[in-house]
Amino acid sequence: MPGTYTVKLNVNGKEFSQKLTVTKDPNTAGNEVDIRIQTKMALELLDNINTVVDSINQIEWIRKQIHDLIEVLKIDKSKFSIVTAAEELDKKIKTVENLFFQEILVEGDAKSFRAPNKLYSQLCLLAGDVAQGSADFPPTDQMNEVHEVLKEELAVASGKLNELIDKDIFAFNTLLNKNNLKSIIIWSKE
């Protein structure tokens, strides 16, 4: 965004700061209002991408605990029902995770996709188009429409993740506790 900023540099414990003025590129026909709109959407997309990444990290943390638990318990035949429940829970989690990103990104090169792009890739592609492809112009109507669709998909995916945690993982943790085993740890994204 055009404006006046303060640049700070810390070198060997000494802080240096200086004012810096960013001006609009005089070679583009866009104006500062257009740039403000573009920047607003780019920042919102960044927040959406971070939400997706946090969700994926949380899912992977949960799945790692489940996989480790399966490895420990599968040698004890008396824990067969818990192992089976853990495997079923992992399948449910994987289904939700697949809403956030495609399991197979590429094979060989960037054009060899075997699965449709999911939220992470779609949001990143849109963010790239908004931030770099618009050259000081506001997002197009199509970009705005796609972003609205992706925000709805993100809300649905986040809702399914929350439901999975509140319902399925809670029930699994209850099973673990009844068998004197430690619960799956759920960390908050906040």
Scanning the structure block, which residue is given the tokens 């939220």? 119
* Average pLDDT of the residues in 22-45: 90
In a domain, 116, yes or no: yes
Q: Report the candidate in 130, 134, 124 with the shortest Cα–Cα distance to residue 25.
A: 134
CB 146 within 8 Å of CB 160:
no
Could you tell me the residue range of the domain that residue 150 belongs to?
A: 31-178
Number of domains in the chain: 1
In a domain, 16, yes or no: no
How far is the CA of 88 from the CAs of 91, 104, 121, 144, in angstroms?
5, 22, 27, 38
Residue 161 in this model has a pLDDT that exceeds 90: yes
Chain segment 58-94, per-residue pLDDT in tens? 999 999 999 999 999 999 999 999 999 999 999 999 9
Residue 9 confidence class, pLDDT cut points 50, 70, 90: very high
Q: Report the candidate in 97, 95, 71, 94 with the shortest Cα–Cα distance to residue 82.
A: 71
Chain segment 80-135, per-residue pLDDT in tens? 999 999 999 999 999 999 999 887 655 555 555 567 789 999 999 999 999 876 67
In a domain, 130, yes or no: yes
In a domain, 8, yes or no: no
pTM: 0.85
Sign of CA pseudo-dihedral 163, 168, 174, 180? negative
In a domain, 45, yes or no: yes
In a domain, 186, yes or no: no
Which two three-digit tokens encode residue 8?
Answer: 């700070």
CB 172 within 8 Å of CB 184:
yes
